[in-house]
């Protein structure tokens, strides 16, 4: 068969840079969510319970007695809240790269 070679996928340095930036932003978002969820659990344990006006001793929806469930729910909450970080950072990164390419 003539020309039976497969199509070679060519990716440029810009694609590699953009993939690195997106991976970095997602890992940063993951680290921020884990940190905030664990910090919130630690705060609840050591500073939230002594404050009687917060009613941390009554376990209702959103204030779970199980620490793992509480941290997991907060992780998901922070992931949703920080999900706007990816599009904004992506647009900023694209504009910076375009600026660099012009010079």
Reference 72, options 24, 36, 20; nearest CA is: 36
Average pLDDT of span 1-5: 59
- pLDDT (average), residues 88-93: 72
pLDDT > 60? residue 1: no
Whole-number Å distance between alpha carbons of 5 and 11: 18
| pLDDT above 70 (res 62) | no
CA distances from 11 to 8, 55, 58, 64, 97 (A): 10, 56, 56, 48, 16
- pLDDT of res. 8: 64
Torsion, Cα of 5, 12, 90, 102 (10° steps) = -140
pLDDT tens-place string over residues 72-88: 988 999 999 988 866 77
Does pTM surpass 0.75? Answer: no
């Amino acid at each position: 068969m003539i020309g039976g070679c497969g199509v070679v996928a060519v990716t440029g340095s810009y694609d590699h840079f953009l993939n690195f930036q997106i991976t970095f932003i997602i890992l940063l978002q993951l680290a921020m969510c884990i940190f905030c969820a664990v910090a919130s659990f630690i705060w609840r344990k050591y500073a939230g319970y002594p404050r009687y006006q917060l009613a941390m001793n009554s376990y209702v929806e959103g204030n779970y007695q199980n620490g793992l469930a509480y941290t997991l729910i907060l992780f998901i909450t922070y992931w949703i809240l920080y999900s706007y970080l990816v599009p904004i950072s992506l647009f900023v990164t694209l504009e910076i790269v375009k600026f660099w390419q012009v010079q």
